[in-house]
């Protein structure tokens, strides 16, 4: 912003409409310098929705606003369509300038291919250019569905990216897949791997899987099960197999293989936990689930049955978690995975990115640079779920981990990382 009066106060507002048609807003107040310039990449706002010098602060600090009040929510962005952010500049409460910025997820030439064959459901995003491209399968977590925006971003970096649906979850319009995360056969993912390998524009020898939360658990499981997986990125994962989910945790299995349920940690809610949730509901206190998962941590005998044999993976592994994950103890799980890999003298590269103070939603494919990160969710009825972290810390972790993920994929699928331990 230029041509302001030196010393003039200006308010810059950013707003966007998510894919649920909900408005998100942020703001920052600045004082123009001696040249009448406000530079958000150089100046710290005097007040606003974020603190410190941050050129992208107005983007990640947007909050959902309903009836004039802020609400804890997830920024709904699943498609690969551009996101329009409106920027307004105010002086003394009057808007003096307005502009729009488009956040692109797919670069020019990226092609989206709907996949509805061989029982598979998803969207394949192919990068521009001839030749055979390394492939990445992207796996959502316990909400199900798929994130096309994430796959489009990876395709823009040269990867054949498959946003694969393995259960509907909240995406109830999707057909051809189970409704809930219960009894999902691993053969479904084996079929997806084979389908990609058969494509002439995909390099079937260079295939990675990326997942978050339950999708991170699944990514580790697929790497340990199928030799065709040559690299694994697991965000906020578990190194144990957990029980299924149907609207809420159940004591049914999540995964099957060769018709048999994989051993898992069953979900059993104690009376004390139930009373704790009821108390939080009455007092409108945000709910966390971390302690419940810690209490259900398997003993040594059970752990041997439900642990994912990550040491069988035929390629490098990247783990990502925040120390303030309040949904489940992903940081503890990651440390256990690292210990297991070390104990088994894992022959490929492996690394754990630990982000101090970050919560559950800190990385790709749920954390996307410049989009508002989720720290809490208020689905209604006075209930609020606390996922941990803060908007700033989660946003910073998202930016850093995104660069690290791209570097990991570059070395794993295009470089010489296979025989090198970090």
Q: How far is CA 360 from the centre of its chain?
A: 9
What is the per-residue pLDDT for 271? Answer: 47
CATH architecture classification, 111-419: 3-Layer(aba) Sandwich (3.40)
What is the per-residue pLDDT for 71? Answer: 84
Give how far Cα 81 sits from Cα of 19, 61, 106, 246, 310, Å: 10, 21, 8, 30, 36
What is the per-residue pLDDT for 415? Answer: 80
Q: Give pLDDT < 50 ranges for the chain.
A: 271, 281, 417-422
What is the per-residue pLDDT for 417? Answer: 47
What is the bridge-based pairing of β-strands 133-139 and 160-164?
parallel
Q: What is the pTM of this model?
A: 0.93
What is the per-residue pLDDT for 171? Answer: 78
Q: How far is CA 178 from the centre of its chain?
A: 22
Domain ranges of the chain: 9-103, 111-419
What is the per-residue pLDDT for 381? Answer: 62
Name the E strands within 104-254: 111-115, 122-126, 133-139, 160-164, 184-185, 202-212, 231-235, 243-246, 248-253
Residues 6+ apart with CB under 8 A from 241: 217, 221, 254, 255, 262, 263, 264, 265, 306, 307, 308
Whether cis (ω within 30° of 0) applies to the bond prior to 365 is yes
CB atoms within 10 A of CB 117: 8
- Fold agreement between 9-103 and 111-419: no
d(CA 59, CA 51): 13
Cα angle for residues 218, 224, 229 (degrees, 5° grid): 85
Helix (H, G, I), strand (E, B) or coil at 107: coil
What is the per-residue pLDDT for 416? Answer: 56
What is the bridge-based pairing of β-strands 255-257 and 260-261?
antiparallel
Q: How far is CA 286 from the centre of its chain?
A: 21
Class of domain 9-103: mainly beta
What is the per-residue pLDDT for 419? Answer: 43
What is the per-residue pLDDT for 418? Answer: 42
Tokens representing 214 are 């339950």
């Amino acid at each position: 912003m230029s041509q302001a009066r030196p010393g003039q106060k200006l308010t810059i507002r950013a707003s966007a409409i998510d894919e649920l048609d909900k408005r998100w807003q942020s703001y920052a107040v600045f004082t123009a310098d001696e040249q009448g310039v406000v530079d958000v990449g150089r100046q710290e706002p005097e007040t606003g929705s974020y603190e410190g010098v941050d050129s992208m602060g107005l983007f990640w600090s947007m909050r959902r606003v309903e009836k004039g009040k802020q609400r804890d929510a997830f920024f709904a962005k699943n498609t690969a369509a551009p996101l329009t952010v409106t920027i307004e500049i105010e002086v003394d409460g009057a808007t003096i300038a307005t502009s729009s910025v488009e956040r692109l997820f797919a670069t020019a030439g990226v092609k989206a291919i709907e996949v509805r064959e061989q029982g598979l459901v998803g969207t394949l995003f192919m990068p521009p250019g001839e030749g055979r491209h390394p492939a990445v399968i992207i796996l959502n977590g316990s909400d199900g569905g798929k994130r096309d925006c994430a796959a489009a971003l990876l395709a823009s970096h040269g990867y054949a990216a498959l946003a694969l649906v393995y259960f509907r979850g909240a995406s109830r319009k999707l057909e051809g897949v189970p409704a809930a995360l219960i009894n999902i056969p691993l053969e479904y993912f084996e079929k997806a791997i084979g389908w990609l390998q058969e494509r002439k524009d995909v390099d079937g020898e260079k295939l990675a899987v990326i997942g978050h939360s339950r999708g991170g658990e699944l990514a580790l499981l697929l790497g340990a099960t199928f030799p065709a997986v040559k690299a694994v990125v697991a965000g906020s994962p578990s190194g144990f197999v957990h029980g299924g989910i149907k609207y809420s945790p159940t004591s049914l299995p999540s995964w099957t293989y060769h018709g048999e349920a994989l051993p898992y940690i069953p979900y059993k809610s104690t009376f004390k936990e139930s009373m704790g949730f009821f108390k939080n509901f009455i007092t409108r206190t945000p709910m966390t689930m971390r302690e419940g998962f810690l209490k259900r941590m398997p003993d040594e005998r059970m752990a041997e049955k439900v642990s994912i044999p990550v040491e069988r993976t035929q390629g490098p592994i990247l783990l990502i978690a925040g120390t303030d994950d309040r949904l489940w103890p992903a940081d503890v799980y990651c440390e256990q995975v690292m210990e297991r890999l070390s104990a088994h003298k894992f022959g490929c590269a492996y690394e754990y990115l630990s982000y101090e103070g970050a919560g559950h939603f800190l990385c790709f494919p749920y954390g996307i640079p410049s989009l508002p990160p989720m720290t809490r969710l208020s689905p209604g009825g006075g209930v609020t779920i606390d996922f941990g972290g803060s908007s700033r810390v989660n946003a910073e972790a998202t930016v850093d981990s995104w660069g690290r993920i791209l570097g990991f994929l570059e070395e794993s699928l295009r470089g010489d990382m296979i025989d090198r331990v970090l």
